[in-house]
Amino acid sequence: MSTDLAIGVHDLSLRTTSLVLPHAELARYNGSDVAKYHKGLGQRAMSVPTEDEDIVTMAAAAALPLIERHGPDDVTTVVLATESSVDQSKAAGVYVHSLLGLASNTRVVEVKQACYGATAGLQFAAGLVHRDPRQRVLVIASDVSQYDLDSPGEATQGAAAAAMLVTADPALLELTGPSGLFTADVMDFWRPNYRATPLVNGKESVAAYLDAVEGAWRDYRSQGGLPLTDFRGFCYHQPYTRMAFKAHRQLLETAGAHLDEEALHRDVAPTTSYNETVGNSYTASVYLALTALLENRDDLDGRTVGLFSYGSGSVAEFLAARVRPGYRAHLRQEAHRRAVEDRQVIDYATYRSLRERSLPTDGGWHELPHRTQGPFRLTAVRDHQRIYEAA
């Protein structure tokens, strides 16, 4: 990154689905002690999509406030990161581009590497802005996390989208210094094309995640990255929020720092407020953590925060960002709070009914009921084509 050109996140917006299943309701159905979810996983609820919600509708809803505030001019690239894509060929971002009314002279791509993809998109965007500081790049992470019914992973499900406008002279965060990188060929979590839900090796996944924390941090420091004491907060990918605390313990141990439980809680707890009630949002997860940190702390002006992005399989990156002075004036805390609090609470039977449905694959014309509370919806499937429109 050029030392004389600040590049980073100028604006940030979150959206989730219209429905929510509390973990107390899940525990009531399966007979589990709810503490298994609240304390063991650190999860309290999961977002559930309606029939007419998916990664496209969430992505467009997350990005719309950015376009409304800053206008569409100079948005020359849309990068949509997801691991729950709606098409094996067409980028989901093309639908978003249309819904937002962006200009035709726009580059649109989809990025995939499990939960890490949005961070690759962020670095891609930074490179484009570095080459031409007039450009503004829209990076969107959008995912619906689903596991087999009655499986251990079911309690970690969720859905959300995070949209970032990447520019020169950003208002929120400036990307700084090197990145620490780590890749290992492991089978901790994967979804073959013939499966609707992923396969998970839970113990292997935790071990692979912690190995990636150590590897990415060591690479970051080997390139002259900042010492641990220079960081004011840390954001981690949160497949469930207790994993962020495990990850930070691993980072402290790797850095040779004293493990202080009070300090660990102070570093990580402010980042979990969205993830604990939305559930795992895959590519969006670490950026929900970042949003929570910015909204829950008022002492970050000019301070450096660390982000650890992990995607199973596995690819990880540790990066540093400097919070820009006056950042709180640019946050969207009220809108984000409403997006979470306005979800309709459903019972397990309703959730199960939604999960057991699937879109028709016969190529016929199938209208979908209007259930979403959001600004965009999937209205129909016709001739194997998904039809989206403003709600």
Residues 112 and 235 grouped into a single domain: no
Closest CA to 173 of 145, 139, 147, 196: 139
- In this structure, are 189 and 237 located in the same domain? yes
Catalytic residue among 25, 83, 154, 317: 83
Residue 313 lies in a domain: yes
pLDDT digits (tens, 9 = 90+) for 142-165: 999 999 999 999 999 999 999 999
| 51 annotated active-site | no
Are residues 151 and 261 both part of a single domain?
no
The H or E element containing residue 278 is helix 275-278
Domain identity same for 164 and 16: yes
- What does each C-alpha distance from 332 to 14, 15, 141, 374 come to in angstroms? 9, 11, 17, 17
Residue pair 57/63 in contact (Cβ under 8 Å)? The answer is no
Q: Is there a domain that residue 243 lies in?
A: yes
261 lies in the same domain as 352: no
Task: Tell me, yes or no, if 262 is annotated catalytic.
Answer: no
Task: Please report whether residue 2 resides in a domain.
Answer: no
The CATH number given to whatever domain includes residue 129 is 3.40.47.10
Residues 165 and 189 in one domain: no
pLDDT (tens digit per residue) in 295-321: 999 999 999 999 999 999 999 999 999
Domain count, the chain: 2
Q: Is the pLDDT of residue 1 over 50?
A: no
* Residue 152 and residue 15 in one domain: yes
Which domain, by its residues, includes 216?
175-326
Q: Are 339 and 161 a contacting pair, CB within 8 Å?
A: no
Residues 46 and 134 in one domain: yes
Q: Among 275, 292, 326, which residue terminates a domain?
A: 326
Is 46 part of any domain? yes
The last residue of a domain, from among 326, 345, 366:
326
Residue 4: its pLDDT value, please? 77
Indicate whether 24 and 133 sit together in one domain: yes
* Residue 2's pLDDT band (cuts 50, 70, 90): very low
The residue from 237, 248, 295, 317 that is catalytic is 237
List the catalytic residue out of 10, 23, 53, 115.
115
Do 49 and 146 fall within a single domain? yes
Residue at 228 is within a domain: yes
Domain boundary (326, 355, 382) is at 326
**1, part of any domain:** no
State pLDDT tens for residues 63-75: 999 999 999 998 9
Asked whether residue 77 falls in the same domain as residue 100, the answer is yes
Q: Name the 3-class secondary structure at 308.
A: strand
**pLDDT for 327-384, tens place per residue?**
999 999 999 999 999 999 999 999 999 999 999 999 999 999 999 999 999 999 999 9
Q: Which pLDDT score is estimated for 89? A: 97
Partners of 318 in the β-ladder = 180, 308
Q: What's the average model confidence in pLDDT over 207-215?
A: 98
For 38-57, what is the mean pLDDT? 98
> Is 83 a catalytic site residue?
yes
Average pLDDT of 255-263? Answer: 89
Q: What's the mean pLDDT when you consider all of the chain?
A: 96
Whether residue 112 sits in one domain with residue 100? yes
User: Based on the number of CB atoms within 10 Å of its own CB, is 380 exposed (0-12), middle (13-18) or buried (19 or more)?
Assistant: middle
